[in-house]
Structure formats: C-alpha cells, structure tokens
C-alpha cells in the first residue's frame, strides 16, 4: 500500500491548497465542540471550494466572445456537460454546493449499503440522468475510508456507460488506504479532496477525521 506521502504526490489526487483559510475551516468542522449550525455552514464552504477545484480540472475549448464594448475576448468554454452523482446519504449534503456553482446541473443518486451476510457493498438504489454517458461526472461523497462504497458506485457508473476518465471523485477527507485502493483499481479516476488523514481506527473511522459526517450534517447524532 502507498504511504500518505506517496498518495499526496500522486498525479491524479488533487489536494486543495492548504491555505490558512482552509485550515481554519477544517479545524471548525473537525472539532467535537462545533454545533450543527456551524458545522453545516463551514462544511458547505469547504464543499464549494472542492467543487470549484474539480471544475478546474475539466477540459475546455477556445471560445471568443464579444464584450458590451464591442471588443473581442479570447476565452474558453467547458468541453461538454457535467452532472453530479451523490452517494446517499452523506453525499447528498454536497449537492447544494454543486448547484451553487453550476446552475441547472443534473444530479443523480446512488444508495449503497453493506450486505450483512457477505460484508460486501451492495447496490440498493440508483437514479442517474439518461444521458450520463455523455457527461463529465462529479461523484460526491464527503468521506473516503475503505473505498468500498465509492468503488461500487463507480461500477454502477461504468454500467451506465460513463468512461472512467470522465469521473472526478470529490470528498472532504480521505485515508491513504482508501485513496490508494481507488487510484489503483481505477487507473483513470481523479480524486479531489481537502485532506488526506493518517488512516483508520479499528472501527474503520477516519483518524483524526471529523466523526460521522452524515450524522453531524443532518443532525441524526443528537
């Protein structure tokens, strides 16, 4: 398995610039003393930064436009359309951040749960845009621990005709183990994250982590 230092240098892992602002935001959402209202507010800020970083890596084509002064400006336009796919339920917390940046964006949903008999992730529900194979996909899930659910979701996207190099996995915190597994298993996948943590504890929680993101965001830990 790759070390944390090796993962941080991986060309297909895009770590948000570790600015003072980001470190302050992450300190707030990692703290056990942060209430739900502040957790939502500051998590949403990080999510928006992640979505914007993801868009930075999408291909563009030249586009010349005319300004209100009648002057030409040689700019660019995104090459093709995008959509979001959230891994329920925690991934749904990231949908608004995508909508805030991309108006009218289509969003699909996938529900994957661990089968108690086999201990393997199983698909329970999938609703994807009918033309998803023609789009660039931002896969949304805030935490990447073992990578089991995300791996299963990418298989679902493959079956829907999405090419691997069109998938950008957006998350707040990942482990070296999870990132290594995903990048090795899917050699054209790209990951955009705010943090690569130390690893997992015996219960497969990310450490130092930020707890259960879905429970804290949706208030089900209260």
Q: What are the extents of the domains in the chain?
A: 4-218
CATH of domain 4-218: 3.40.50.2020
Confidence label for 114 from pLDDT (cuts 50, 70 and 90): confident
Q: Does the annotation mark 118 as catalytic?
A: yes
What's CA 99's distance to the chain center, in Å?
Answer: 14
pLDDT at 222: 54
Confidence label for 119 from pLDDT (cuts 50, 70 and 90): low
Residue 124: is its pLDDT beyond 60?
Answer: yes
pLDDT at 54: 95
pLDDT at 117: 61
Within 8 A by CB and 6+ apart from 119, the residues are none
pLDDT at 58: 92
Share of the chain above pLDDT 90, in %: 84
User: What does the mean pLDDT of the chain come to?
Assistant: 93
Per-residue pLDDT, averaged over 31-60, amounts to: 96
What is the distance between the alpha carbons of residues 153 and 162, in angstroms, rounded to a whole number? 11
Biggest CA-to-CA distance, the chain:
67
DSSP, residue by residue, 36-68: HHHHHHHHHHHHHHHHHHHHHTS-EEEEEEE-T
DSSP, residue by residue, 97-113: HHHHHSTT-EEEEEEEE
Q: Does the annotation mark 114 as catalytic?
A: yes
Confidence label for 104 from pLDDT (cuts 50, 70 and 90): confident
Per-residue pLDDT, averaged over 1-21, amounts to: 95
pLDDT at 12: 97
What is the distance between the alpha carbons of residues 139 and 7, in angstroms, rounded to a whole number? 19
Choosing from 114, 165, 198, 220, which is the catalytic residue? 114
């Amino acid at each position: 398995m790759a070390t944390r230092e090796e993962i941080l240098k991986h060309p297909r892992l895009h770590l948000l610039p570790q600015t003072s602002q980001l470190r302050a935001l992450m300190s707030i959402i990692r703290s056990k003393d942060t209430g739900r209202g502040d957790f939502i507010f500051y998590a949403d800020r990080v999510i928006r930064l992640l979505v914007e970083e993801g868009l930075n890596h999408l291909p563009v084509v030249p586009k010349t436009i005319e300004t209100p002064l009648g002057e030409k400006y040689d700019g660019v336009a995104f090459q093709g359309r995008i959509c979001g796919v959230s891994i329920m339920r925690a991934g749904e917390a990231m949908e608004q951040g995508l909508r805030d940046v991309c108006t009218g964006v289509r969003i699909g949903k996938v529900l994957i749960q661990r089968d108690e008999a086999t201990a393997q992730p199983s698909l329970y529900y999938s609703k994807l845009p009918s033309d998803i194979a023609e789009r660039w996909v931002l896969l949304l899930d805030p935490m990447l621990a073992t990578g089991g659910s995300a791996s299963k979701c990418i298989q679902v996207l493959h079956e829907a005709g999405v090419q691997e190099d069109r998938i950008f996995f957006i998350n707040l915190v990942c482990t070296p183990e999870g990132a290594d597994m995903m990048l090795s298993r899917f050699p054209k996948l790209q990951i955009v994250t705010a943090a690569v943590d130390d690893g997992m504890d015996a219960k497969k929680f990310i450490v130092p982590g930020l707890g259960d993101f879905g429970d804290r965001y949706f208030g089900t830990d209260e």
